Amino acid sequence: MSKKQIIETIFNICIKSGNFVFDNNLVKDIVKQQKSNTNPYDMTKIDDISKLPAEIVKKDYFIAHLGGGKHKFIKGIDKVYHTFEPIEKEEIIEWQYRPSILNDFSISESGILSLVNNHRIVHDFLYQDYVGIVPKMYNSERKRGISFEYFIDDEKLTFQNLQIEIDMTLEYDGYVTVFEGKNAPPNKWTATFNIYQLYNPFRYYYELKQDNKLDIQKLTACYLIRQKYQDTSTIRLYNYSFENPLDITSVKLLKKREYRLKRKGFENE
Residue by residue, pLDDT tens for the chain (269 residues) are 788 989 999 999 999 999 999 998 998 898 888 777 777 777 788 999 999 999 999 999 999 988 888 899 999 999 999 999 999 999 999 998 877 766 666 666 777 888 898 889 999 999 988 778 889 999 888 898 899 999 998 999 988 888 899 999 999 999 999 999 998 887 889 899 999 999 999 999 999 999 999 999 999 999 999 998 877 889 999 999 999 999 999 999 999 999 999 887 654 44
Who's near 139: CB < 8 A, 6+ residues apart?
Answer: 110, 168
Please tell me the distance from the alpha carbon of residue 26 to that of residue 69, in angstroms, as a whole number.
10
Residue 132, pLDDT score: 81
Residue 59, pLDDT score: 96
Residue 106, pLDDT score: 61
Residue 102, pLDDT score: 63
Residue 267, pLDDT score: 47
